Amino acid sequence: MTQAPLTIQRTCHVPVPVADCFALFTRLGAQEYIHHDAVIAPIVQVDRAPGQTFTEIGDVQHITFKGGYTIREELLAFVPNRQFVYKGTGFTQPLLTWLDHAKGSFEFEKNGDGTDITWRYNFYLRGGLGAAVKRGVFNALIVNVIWNRMMTKTLSNLTQIITLRALQPGRTE
């Protein structure tokens, strides 16, 4: 029996038009904007197959964090100027090994002259002995404390980075 996912989402407003916001976002490397601190290890490397940009359905990237922890992400959907959806598997961080997989999405929506970016993450835990207890612990600790803080700070980082880069015409990075 598959359990309903544990879901968290956060939204930020970026004062940049949707097409520019989406283009700048898709050119960023995750290590540039994902928040890290004493609990969340920084990303040290993102590996993709030669020629992959993580903008084509089926593209895969392997993210390595300080300490050697990894996640494999596969792009499931890519709608220019609107959204992309990805699936994470192979989590090696402690407690995240309780996951079967996760699905994340970034959605872009026009709001006035700017863009609202919504980041949604669905955690699908493994079943089995102690599943209800693990679900409670995972929801309380990982989703409501660690992931909530990480998502909030990451979206703040994105807002700053995209806004600053939009103000620098001709910047290609």
Is position 172 within any domain?
no
| Three-state secondary-structure class, residue 82 | coil
**Crossing angle for the helix pair 18-27 and 148-166, nearest 10 degrees?**
110
pLDDT digits (tens, 9 = 90+) for 54-68: 999 999 999 999 999
pTM (whole model) above 0.75: yes
Classify residue 51: in a domain, yes or no. Answer: yes
93-148, pLDDT tens digit by residue? 988 999 999 999 999 999 999 999 999 999 999 988 889 999 999 999 999 999 99
- Per the structure, the count of domains in the chain is 1
Query: What residue numbers bound the domain in which 108 lies?
Result: 6-166
Q: What is the CATH number of the domain that holds 144?
A: 3.30.530.20
In a domain, 112, yes or no: yes
Please check whether residue 48 lies inside any domain of the structure. yes
Residue 1, domain member (yes or no): no
- Mean pLDDT over 78-91 rounds to 97
Q: Does residue 171 belong to any structural domain of this protein?
A: no
In angstroms, rounded to a whole number, what is the distance separating the alpha carbons of residues 149 and 129?
29
E strand or H helix at 51, and its extent?
none
- Residue 173 inside a domain? The answer is no
| Residue 114 three-state SS | strand
As a whole number, mean pLDDT of residues 144-162 equals: 96
Residue 129 · residue 104 · CB < 8 Å: no
Q: How confident is the model at residue 79 (pLDDT cuts 50, 70, 90)?
A: very high
Has residue 111 been placed in a domain? yes
Q: What is the pLDDT of residue 151?
A: 97
What pLDDT does residue 3 have? 77
Q: What is the CA radius of gyration of the chain?
A: 16
